[in-house]
């Protein structure tokens, strides 16, 4: 049986042809806004990288990359990217991007281990961005400022789409609420992390949860994070740990929270050493990316990914991510979608 949520009385507000046009409007408008807001320039990104360089991201640390041999490289194995967090930071160094400026790219990935439902697909498309920062920028205040700028770009895009299609009524709140994952745990004792996300997002509408990846007061983690891109262990000015987090909204169509972006200030050499030790992955120090970082050859940076299909889904008020991207779905899910008037592309 599929894990499909079927909103009662669901009726798409845009038909298939309108949806395809609207997707392009969202992608063009949001990309232009975000690039201007954060001073990002477009770069070309890889679909795959060589295995063993440490450039691919392993997300929570358990997802298997899709791999294939390359004939002309002696069957050396390549991996389809999961995301580009480490590749982007290496690119900042290669291009000599100065503090206050950054890069943005269209990232396409295949995540074969994804559990498929209304918002999860094996095909992942996102805007991956990275910006060079100074040592002084490695602070909670700077992180919050960048989050507010990203949220403002999302709000402007929501307003623009409402002007283009009046049937799309705005629902995002004016302000985004910040809370640390440990504060959230204390606020909702006895709940799972997902239940806590739903509760806080329903209360505030838009939330940034700080410090995802580090241990909470009860020994658990809000969500798993790899040790070598986001900094989830450095003490911050709120008295907790972590300079990263997730941006989530309350999505009225599905009556649940949805993550639109995972981002953060990236590890410096000290945080990398600490987080590798915490997760028992010190062997990664020998990889190309990690050696460059530990040797001081990579700039300090902040970065993240913003889901393209998810943003389109939520701004067009669709019930399934398959209404804003083309992917593979279980046959029983396709059947249920047809019965629920959910038109998968």
- The catalytic residue positions are 57, 111, 126, 246, 259, 262
Cβ neighbours of 264 (radius 10 Å): 27
Distance CA 171, CA 254 (A): 13
For residues 115-153, one letter each, b for 16 or more C-beta atoms within 10 angstroms of the residue's C-beta and e for the rest, the string is: ebbbbebbbbbbbbbbbbbeeebbbbebbeebbeebbeb
Distance CA 181, CA 37 (A): 27
The H-assigned helical ranges of 12-55 are: 16-38
Cβ neighbours of 259 (radius 10 Å): 16
**CA distance readout (Å), 114 to 25, 60, 121, 123, 305:** 28, 12, 7, 9, 17
Q: Report the interhelical angle of 140-164 vs 308-315 (nearest 10°).
A: 50
Q: Are 133 and 302 in contact (CB under 8 A)?
A: yes
Placement of tokens 């910040």 in the chain = 178
The tokens for 253 are 């169509």
Residue 174 burial (CB < 10 Å; 0-12/13-18/19+)? exposed
Q: Are 326 and 334 in contact (CB under 8 A)?
A: no
The tokens for 115 are 């559990």
């Amino acid at each position: 049986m599929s894990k499909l949520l079927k909103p009662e009385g669901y009726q798409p507000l845009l038909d298939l042809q309108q949806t395809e046009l609207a997707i392009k409007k969202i992608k063009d408008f949001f990309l232009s806004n975000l690039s201007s807001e954060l001073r990002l320039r477009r770069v070309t990104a890889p679909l795959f990288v060589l295995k063993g360089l440490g450039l691919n991201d392993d997300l929570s640390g358990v997802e298997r990359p899709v791999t294939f041999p390359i004939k002309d490289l002696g069957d050396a194995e390549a991996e389809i990217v999961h995301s580009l967090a480490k590749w982007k930071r290496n690119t900042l160094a290669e291009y000599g991007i100065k503090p206050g400026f950054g890069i943005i790219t269209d990232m396409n990935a295949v995540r074969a281990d994804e559990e498929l439902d209304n918002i999860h697909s094996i095909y992942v498309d996102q805007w991956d961005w990275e910006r060079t920062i100074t040592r002084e920028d490695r602070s909670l205040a700077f992180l919050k400022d960048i989050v507010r700028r990203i949220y403002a770009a999302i709000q402007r895009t929501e307003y623009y789409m409402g002007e283009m299609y009046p049937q799309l009524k705005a629902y995002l709140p004016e302000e985004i609420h910040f809370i640390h994952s440990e504060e959230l745990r204390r606020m909702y004792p006895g709940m799972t992390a997902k239940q806590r996300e739903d509760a806080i997002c329903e209360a505030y509408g838009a939330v940034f949860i700080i410090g995802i990846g580090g241990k909470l007061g009860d020994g658990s983690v809000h969500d798993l994070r790899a040790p070598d891109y986001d900094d989830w262990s450095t003490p911050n000015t709120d008295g907790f740990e972590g300079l990263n987090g997730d941006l989530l909204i309350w999505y009225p169509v599905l009556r649940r929270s949805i993550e639109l972006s995972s981002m953060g200030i990236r590890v410096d050499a000290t945080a990398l050493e600490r987080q590798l030790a915490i997760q028992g992955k010190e062997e990664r120090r020998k990889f190309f990316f990690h050696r460059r970082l530990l040797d001081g050859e990579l700039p300090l940076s902040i970065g993240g990914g913003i889901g393209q299909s998810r943003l389109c889904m939520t701004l067009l008020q669709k019930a399934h991510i398959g209404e804003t991207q083309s992917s593979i779905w279980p046959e029983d899910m396709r059947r249920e979608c047809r019965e629920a008037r959910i038109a998968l592309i």
